[in-house]
Amino acid sequence: MAVNTASILLKPKTRLDERWRLVILVGLPALALLLFFVVPLSVMVLYTFQKGTLGGEMVWSLATYRAFWQNSAMHSLLWRSTLVSLFTSLWCILLAYPLAYYLVFRAGERRMTLLTLIVIPAWTSYLLRILAWKLILGTEGMLNSFLLWVGWIEVPSPILLFSQTAVIATLVYVWLPFVALPIFAALERVDRRLLDAAADLGSPPWLSFLRVTLPLSLPGVLAGFLSVFIPTLGEYVTPLLVGGVNGIMYGNIIQDQFVRALNWPLGSLMSLVMLVALLPLFVLFQRTEQVV
């Protein structure tokens, strides 16, 4: 009887301790999310209703919304930037998947060493890697030197520089390791016994890949796709350095509105539109992940 009484007396204290642990574990991340995401996002939404540029009167005006709605050039630029991000993500997946597959199923004990070699370039400066590609694609760069050496051209010229092709090529190089990592992790979790069972049932290797390996690795593919598509949609540094006028993207206009034009309401609205445009992609990703 004494033991039961002691356990009853200890239950309220235990529950109180669990609640405090829950408050500490959940409260700090929730506070950080509130301060560094919800509050800045709310301020950005309020700026879209501000009349005039920076320092203007705070009134509930829809002038910025009307100006954006009537500007078809911004809509076209957002669509073009979406296509650039889409092509970049697809190229990254097409290049990263065979690479990750080789590391998991063919590299053996060397896979971690090779994976480290793939990730090492990502440790260097992002700006330095972009400038390196600017030199490669430039008039006196490696590409022109090779074409002159093989005799395909007679006069060096910036063939790919300052174009959408240069932007996509540079972004693919920069983000390729970040796509290979989630695909590598997904392939690592594939149970080899499933492949052995498929082989015992007479399935050829290509069919085992399509029916077993590929479906089980789709979460890693989707994670790699989003890890590239989301940041590249608002990219402005790479188009500025290697894209020029022909490779300008939506993020460059947002940066100009905040820095040069000092039109914070329009810049905030453009950022908000880009964020809203990404929401259907998150919904599709969640549904696809549940199906997989």
Q: Do 157 and 272 share a domain, yes or no?
A: yes
250-259 helix and 264-291 helix, angle to the nearest 10 degrees: 150
Number of domains in the chain: 2
User: According to the model, what pLDDT value does residue 15 have?
Assistant: 64
Q: What is the 3-state composition of the chain as percent helix, strand, coil, each rounded to the nearest 5?
A: 80, 0, 20
Instruction: Tell me if 37 is assigned to some domain.
Output: yes
pLDDT, tens digit, 9 for 90 and up, residues 220-276: 999 999 999 999 999 999 999 898 888 899 999 999 998 888 888 899 999 999 988
Q: For position 275, which CATH number holds?
A: 1.10.3720.10
Q: Do 17 and 105 share a domain, yes or no?
A: no
Q: Do 23 and 111 share a domain, yes or no?
A: no
User: According to the model, what pLDDT value does residue 158 have?
Assistant: 67
Amino acid at residue number 27: G
For the CA atoms of 228, 230, 235, 239, the dihedral, rounded to the nearest 10 degrees, stands at 50
- Ranges of residues in the chain whose predicted pLDDT is under 50: 1-3, 9-10
Report whether 278 contacts 80 (CB < 8 A). Answer: no
Q: How many CA atoms lie within 13 A of 200 on its CB side?
A: 6
Instruction: Tell me if 27 is assigned to some domain.
Output: yes
Instruction: Tell me if 85 is assigned to some domain.
Output: yes
Q: Do 161 and 265 share a domain, yes or no?
A: yes
User: According to the model, what pLDDT value does residue 10 have?
Assistant: 47
Instruction: Tell me if 125 is assigned to some domain.
Output: yes
Instruction: Tell me if 99 is assigned to some domain.
Output: yes
Q: Do 194 and 278 share a domain, yes or no?
A: yes
pLDDT, tens digit, 9 for 90 and up, residues 131-144: 888 888 877 778 77
Q: Do 114 and 6 share a domain, yes or no?
A: no
Q: Do 208 and 263 share a domain, yes or no?
A: yes
Q: How many CA atoms lie within 13 A of 259 on its CB side?
A: 7
Query: Hey, is 191 helix, strand or coil?
Result: coil
Q: Do 126 and 17 share a domain, yes or no?
A: no
User: According to the model, what pLDDT value does residue 207 have?
Assistant: 92
Q: Do 15 and 83 share a domain, yes or no?
A: no
Instruction: Tell me if 90 is assigned to some domain.
Output: yes
Instruction: Tell me if 163 is assigned to some domain.
Output: yes
- Domain extent at residue 197: 76-291
The number of residues in the chain equals: 292
Q: Do 30 and 110 share a domain, yes or no?
A: no
Instruction: Tell me if 66 is assigned to some domain.
Output: no
User: According to the model, what pLDDT value does residue 81 have?
Assistant: 94
Residue percentage of the chain with pLDDT more than 70: 89
Q: Do 159 and 37 share a domain, yes or no?
A: no
Q: Do 16 and 131 share a domain, yes or no?
A: no
